[in-house]
Amino acid sequence: MTRRFENRVALVTGAAQGIGAGIATRLAADGARVIIADVNLPEARAMANRINAEGGESAAVELDVVDPDSFSRLNDSVLAAFGGPLDFFVCNAGVQTFQKAVDVTVDEWDRVLDVNARGTLLSMQAAASMPAGSSVVAIASIQGRLGGPYYPHYSASKAAVLSLVKSFALALAPGGIRVNAVAPGIVDTPLWDEADRMLSALKGEAPGVARAERIASVPLGRAGTPADVAAAVSFLLSEDASYITGECIHVCGGDVML
């Protein structure tokens, strides 16, 4: 693996665990100095320490993506960590809950839309101050394309992410900043254990059935991994994608084609 991001600074939101941690680990392996930005600062520090122990460069900052005041302190945190501006911004922080479409509550709607949509808006606004040649990648979901009867609020929030990618790709292009998305399908993280439990309960099935059915529906026959998603993110941030903006790569084993 080449260290193509040597001396570049990358920030990944929601990077203390799951897909975000996979992205941060890959970018560090690619040579980037990585900021682990998460609402859970102790877990963010633990993740940064793991990267540093493996020979990378990483620091942790506390960031609540739904709070504008949290972003107002971000530049100072970045400068304190690495002494320079950001080059890459990965908008990964997100939440998902499951509920039948007809039973979704206003509180559930607000929580998911706040983190996934509002959080992406504020993240992209913060990324707008990066220098020319920088790049933004937002983590969307194939459910933003497909919808689903057990997560309409999540699907709506990820459709909003895809829309924001297009809007900010246009808005930031004159400043030389590219904006793209990666849309994963099922990804094997600890959070999927909870997702399986909730989905199985909603469907009246035994635990494990929802997960097995979901994997069986994937053309490539397996769940994705954080490393699969991270590889696509690394490509979109890199100069190999220098003529790509406003696009979305589906990392889903063939669930969504073209």
**Tens digit of each residue's pLDDT (9 = 90 or more) over 8-24:** 999 999 999 999 999 99
Q: What is the CATH number of the domain that holds 141?
A: 3.40.50.720
Strand partners, 187: 224
Q: Is residue 196 part of a domain?
A: no
Number of domains in the chain: 1
Mean pLDDT score, 193-210: 90
Summarised one tens digit per residue, pLDDT across range 142-162 is 999 998 899 999 999 999 999
204 phi/psi in degrees, rounded to 5: 70, 30
**What does the angle CA 185 – CA 187 – CA 193 come to, to the nearest 5 degrees?**
120
Q: Is residue 87 part of a domain?
A: yes
Summarised one tens digit per residue, pLDDT across range 61-105 is 999 999 999 999 998 888 889 988 999 999 999 999 999 999 999
Q: Is residue 37 part of a domain?
A: yes
Predicted pLDDT at 146: 95
Torsion of CA 96, 100, 104, 110, to 10 degrees: 20
**What does the angle CA 70 – CA 71 – CA 77 come to, to the nearest 5 degrees?**
90
Tokens of 114: 């706040």
Q: Is residue 36 part of a domain?
A: yes
Predicted pLDDT at 1: 58
Residue 7 in contact with residue 28, Cβ under 8 Å?
A: no
Q: Is residue 143 part of a domain?
A: yes
The pTM of the full predicted model, rounded to 2 decimals, is: 0.97
Active-site residue numbers? 154
Q: Is residue 219 part of a domain?
A: no
**Beta strands 88-91; 9-13: pairing state:** parallel
Q: Residue 61's domain spans which residues?
A: 9-187+225-251
